Amino acid sequence: DTAVSQTPKYLVTQMGNDKSIKCEQNLGHDTMYWYKQDSKKFLKIMFSYNNKELIINETVPNRFSPKSPDKAHLNLHINSLELGDSAVYFCASSQGVGFTYNSPLHFGNGTRLTVT
Amino acid sequence: KNQVEQSPQSLIILEGKNCTLQCNYTVSPFSNLRWYKQDTGRGPVSLTIMTFSENTKSNGRYTATLDADTKQSSLHITASQLSDSASYICVVTPRGGSYIPTFGRGTSLIVHP
């Protein structure tokens, strides 16, 4: 299946821990993203990578570190987790460089992170 | 500040009925507006896209309209089905800068049999 897949789907952890979320896309897209969907349901961009290069970093705490080993993968590592990090994190991809008119975002199914 | 406001926040309708969801935005200058459908536990999926010059766009039972002068869009769903139960998100992309889209909060639609 052609898709954006992210793992794990659920992640429950304690404050202070470090965790990673993995994302892979087999759509051949050049740009990948991480979005955070908070309790109010707004989707907010965190990072965007084009061909392994960071192109958007939206004032995210430096506890969050994305890593793109190749253009098909964009992982998210979070250090020293805090209660406020609890949210659903979505990986997405699109054709072209960054946000372009004719390319919708293709989202994964999300990772629900709960920090206790 | 770019904003996208959607109404109603939630909507319950009976199967087979029509409904209209609203989106107002302040994004300017404006490049395009998309409607996404997000099923529970899934990521959003694009339904339609409209540019400044387009007034209406259909995708099956979904019809989106755009009034760029008043900065309003609507998504009309005809003959609703149970599978239409989802959150519908309006997303507006600015023209210029980094073109980062602004997401609305979404309208949660529940279709009852």
Structure confidence by residue, pLDDT tens digits, A52-69: 888 888 878 999 999 999
Least Cα distance to B3 among A42, A61, A48 occurs for A42
- What is the number of CB-based contacts under 8 A between chain A and chain B? 50
Interchain contact, B98 vs A99, CB within 8 Å: yes
pLDDT band at A84 (very low <50, low <70, confident <90, very high): very high
B100 vs A: CB within 8 A: yes
Distance CA A69, CA A103 (A): 23
Closest alpha carbon within chain B to A100: B99
Interchain contact, B89 vs A43, CB within 8 Å: yes
Distance CA B98, CA B53 (A): 22
Structure confidence by residue, pLDDT tens digits, A30-48: 999 999 999 888 899 999 9
Query: Residue A69, preceding bond cis, omega within 30 degrees?
Result: no
**Which chain A residues touch B31 with a CB distance below 8 Å?**
101
Q: Is B105 exposed, middle or buried (0-12, 13-18, 19+ CB in 10 A)?
A: middle
Interchain contact, A105 vs B46, CB within 8 Å: yes
**Which chain A residues touch B100 with a CB distance below 8 Å?**
45, 56, 58, 99
Closest alpha carbon within chain A to B106: A41
The predicted model gives B37-59 an average pLDDT of 93
CA quadruple A85, A88, A89, A91: dihedral, nearest 10 = 180
Q: Is A33 exposed, middle or buried (0-12, 13-18, 19+ CB in 10 A)?
A: buried
The predicted model gives B68-92 an average pLDDT of 96
**Nearest C-alpha of chain A: how many angstroms from B109?**
14
Query: Residue B29, preceding bond cis, omega within 30 degrees?
Result: yes
User: B105 has which bridge partners?
Assistant: none
Closest alpha carbon within chain A to B51: A101
> What does pLDDT average to over chain B?
94
Of B32, B41, B44, the CB nearest to A107: B44
Quote the pLDDT of residue B1: 76
Quote the pLDDT of residue A2: 65
The predicted model gives B59-88 an average pLDDT of 96
B32 vs A: CB within 8 A: yes
Scan for tokens 């900065």, then name that residue: B71
**Which chain A residues touch B86 with a CB distance below 8 Å?**
none
Closest alpha carbon within chain A to B43: A109
Q: Residue A66: which residues within 8 A CB-CB, separation 6 or more? A: A34, A46, A47, A49, A54, A74, A75, A76, A77
Quote the pLDDT of residue A1: 64
Distance CA B113, CA B107 (A): 19
**Which chain A residues touch B32 with a CB distance below 8 Å?**
101
B102 vs A: CB within 8 A: no
